[in-house]
Amino acid sequence: MAPTLPALLCLGEMGGGRTPGEPASDFLPGTLRKPTIWAEPGSVVTRGSPVTIWCQGPPNADSFSLNKEGTSAPWNAQPPAEPWDRANFFIKRVTEQQAGRYHCSHFIGVNWSEPSEPLELLVAGEGPAGRLRDSPSLSVQPGPSVTSGENVTLLCQSENRTDTFLLSKEGAAQRPLRLRSQDQDGRYQAEFSLSPVTSAHGGTYRCYRSLSTDPYLLSQPSEPLALLVSDYTVQNLIRMGLAASVLLLLGILLCQARHDHGGARDKARS
């Protein structure tokens, strides 16, 4: 993957626009809609695994730039890819150095767009000096199988020092939930409330622990927890359908019995 940063710098000089490393104050805010940023397969990545960061803007974008907070120059720059409204930034093996907050922008004519909303790239593993070696545990109350509308709590726990816990849902587009840990008799924990639960909450969850000194570095994940949410309305419709079927069958049997009884009486009279 060959970056096109020199070409982008030339475009900025010729048009008087902002080069990727310059502050955003040089262009008129609101003239270009901010792009959308996301990561695949997700924003939580195991150390050494691949990840692709996507940036999507309008179909007439000339190029895209990806920036990591805390750095003065773009992390990378790419021309748009088919269908010509997005660019992808591929990382073959994620390391601790790539953990952090990212923004992307797109370039049209002589202007750069406003930066996208932030994407937090979280790297899971042992963490600095092995301080995050141990995985937390994850449990659910009242249980893994619930009905829509119930109050559900996912509990992350660890016996080792933890500043925050993160709860991640497999395949979810939303960023993981993060809560500060509470010390309960020497055991660190955080309670994630999903109340009232809906069918959209169903799925596989994992929790991670992190330290405030390195908030984008996470421990190994907990064992996966599958949450099954049954739709109360659908269940009621099924029950009502079954009840109606039973009543219909009883009605048919009753009519048949009356018919047979009437036929027997007619034969007896004759």
Question: Could you tell me if residue 246 is inside a domain?
Answer: no
Tens digit of each residue's pLDDT (9 = 90 or more) over 135-156: 999 999 999 999 999 999 999 9
Tens digit of each residue's pLDDT (9 = 90 or more) over 238-250: 555 666 666 777 7
18 plus 104 within the same structural domain? yes
Q: Tell me, what amino acid is at 23?
A: P
Question: Could you tell me if residue 207 is inside a domain?
Answer: yes
Tens digit of each residue's pLDDT (9 = 90 or more) over 186-240: 899 999 999 899 999 999 999 999 999 999 999 999 999 999 999 865 555 555 5
Q: For residue 77, give the 3-state DSSP assignment.
A: strand
Whether pLDDT at 266 is above 80: no
Structurally, how many domains does the chain consist of? 2
Question: Could you tell me if residue 152 is inside a domain?
Answer: yes
CATH number for the domain that contains residue 139: 2.60.40.10
96 plus 142 within the same structural domain? no
12 plus 109 within the same structural domain? yes
38 plus 87 within the same structural domain? yes
Tens digit of each residue's pLDDT (9 = 90 or more) over 88-135: 999 999 999 999 999 999 999 888 899 999 999 999 987 665 678 889
Q: What is the pLDDT of residue 243?
A: 60
Question: Could you tell me if residue 176 is inside a domain?
Answer: yes
CA nearest neighbour of 9 among 84, 113, 107, 116: 107
pTM above 0.85, yes or no: no
DSSP annotation of 24: G
